[in-house]
Amino acid sequence: MAEERRDGEPDERLREYRSSIDNIDAALVHLLAERFKITQAVGRYKATAGLPPSDPGREREQIARLRALAVESGLDPAFTEAFLRFIVSEVIRHHEAIAEGAD
């Protein structure tokens, strides 16, 4: 349902913006799907190799790198760090499930 202007006409400008947001969101979903395919492989590999599911040193490196990339690309570094932590917590949940043989 397109948002309407106060005069009742559909808002074309808002519709254009939202169409771009929808394209970007589809790309984000597909990239996340690919990222989880890799982290699932990492989880299986870690379980086989007897490595722990989480790796605080690696996470610190990722956060430092992504905060720097965020500054370059005009994104809030604090948001970017929260974003990575959000994804990593899901990854660790998967890895724990794999380590417990639930996946």
User: How many Å is the Cα radius of gyration of the chain?
Assistant: 19
Nearest to 53 by CA among 65, 35, 39: 39
Residue entry with tokens 């790309």? 27
Query: Which one among 61, 64, 100, 103 touches its own copies, defined by CB under 8 A?
Result: 61
Interacting residues with its own copies between 28 and 47 (CB under 8 A): 28-39, 41-42, 45-46
Helix (H) or strand (E) holding 76: none
Least CB distance to its own copies at residue 82 (A): 8
Q: Which residues on adjacent β-strands are paired with residue 4?
A: 10
| Contacts with its own copies, residue ranges (CB under 8 A) | 1, 3, 5-6, 11, 13-14, 17-18, 20-22, 24-39, 41-42, 45-46, 49-51, 55, 57-58, 61-62, 65-66, 69-70, 73-76, 79-80, 82-84, 86, 90
